[in-house]
Amino acid sequence: MCNNSPSSQDNQRQCKFLSYMFYQAVRDRKPVWMLEEMRTMESFYWEENTKLRTYTPSEALLYAVVHNHLPYAQYLLSRYADEALEMPGDRFCCCPSSAPHLTMAVRYDRKDILGLILKIASQLPGFKSYVNRKGCFHVEDGKTPLHLACELLRAESVLMLLGSGASPKIVDSKGLTPLDVILEQLQVSKINVESKKLCIDHLLLFTSNLQFKMKRDLNDNPAEWNRLLGEDKYNYLSGKTPATLFLISMQGVLKCLPPSNFPASVKELPIPQSLKPLPSERLTLRSVDVQ
C-alpha cells in the first residue's frame, strides 16, 4: 500500500509509477482479466492528497475509449452499465453535466465503442438527456456530442448519434445548431466538401422543421450557396421549396425506429439498399455485440 504523506516521496513516486502502469496496460490492450486485476488493486491508483482507492469503471472506460480497447470497453459496459457511464473523478472531467465517454468516443473516432455506449445507454433512465448533454466548457466549449461530430466531420458518428436520439435542433453555447456548424465550415473551407455534405444529409433525415442560424445567410447570398450546396438542397434549406417526398418519407420512417436497435433497424427496412442511410458494415455489426 502506498503512503501519500509529504514525508514519503519515494512511496509517492512508486504510486505514480504503478498508476501509469495501469494506463499503459490499457494502451497496450492487455487482456481484460489483467486490466480488471490492476483496476481493482489500490496500489495501482495514485492521486495526490487523497486516500488510496481503485479506478472506477467510469475512469477505466475513458482509458478504454482513448486507447480503442474494444474488448475492455465491452466488458465494462456489459458488466457495470450504470457505473461505467457515471461521471469520472474531477481529474478526468470538471463539468458534472457533460457526457465525457460519448465526447471522447466522437473526438477519437472510436465508432465501435460509440455504438456500444449508445446501445447500453439507451436502456438506462434519462437517456435522452444523456445523449444531448453539452460537453465540458473548458475542453469542448459547451458542444454536444453531435455538435462535436459535425465539427470533426465524423459522418458515421453523426448518423449513430441521430439514430440513437440526439437532437439535431439543440444549440451549443454559441446558439448554433449542428447544421449551423456544418454550414459554417462549408462556407469557410472547401476541404472535405463531400464529408460535409454527407453530414448535412444525415442531419436532414432527422430534422423535419428547419430552424437554424445560418438560414439568413443562405437567403442573403443565394449565388454562393447555390454553388456550395446545389440548387435543390439550397432551395430546401433556404425555405424556397418544400422537402421532397423521399425526404419526408424517410423522416417518418426513421422517427418510428427504436433508438436501442439502431442501426440494425435501418438494415432490416424493406427498401433498396441504396436508399438506406447506413454507416459502414463493420459498425453496423459491431454496434449490436453487447447483450
- Per-residue pLDDT reduced to its tens digit, 237-261: 999 999 999 999 999 999 999 888 8
Check residue 254 and give its pLDDT: 92
Q: Rounded to an integer, what distance in angstroms lies between the CA atom of residue 236 and that of residue 238?
A: 6
Q: Which residue segments constitute the domains of the chain, with CATH numbers given?
A: 1-55 (no CATH), 76-265+280-286 (1.25.40.20)
Q: For 93-105, give one letter per residue: b (16+ CB within 10 A) or e.
A: bebeebbbbbbbb
The pTM score is: 0.86
Question: Position 172: which residue type?
Answer: D
pLDDT category at 44 given cuts 50, 70, 90 is low
Show the cell assigned to 4: 501519500
Query: CA 280, CA 291: separation in Å to the nearest integer?
Result: 21
Q: CB under 8 Å to 206, separation ≥6 — which residues?
A: 162, 163, 168, 251, 254, 255
Provide the 3-class DSSP secondary structure of residue 10.
helix
DSSP secondary structure string for all residues of 47-85: -TTS---PPPHHHHHHHHHHTT-HHHHHHHHHHTTTTTT
Is pLDDT above 90 for 284? no
The residue that leads in pLDDT, 263 or 176, is: 176
Question: Which pLDDT score, from 0 to 100, does residue 140 have?
Answer: 63
Provide CB contacts within 8 A for 219, sequence distance 6+: 238, 239
Mean of all residue pLDDT scores within the chain? 84
Nearest to 42 by CA among 60, 19, 59: 19
> Which pLDDT score, from 0 to 100, does residue 13 have?
53
Check whether 287 has a pLDDT greater than 50.
no
Whether the predicted pLDDT of 84 surpasses 50: yes
Measuring CA to CA, which residue among 154, 155, 211 is closest to residue 179?
Answer: 211
Per-residue pLDDT tens over the stretch 93-132 = 556 667 889 999 999 999 999 999 999 998 888 888 899 9
**Mean pLDDT of all residues in 184-194:** 93
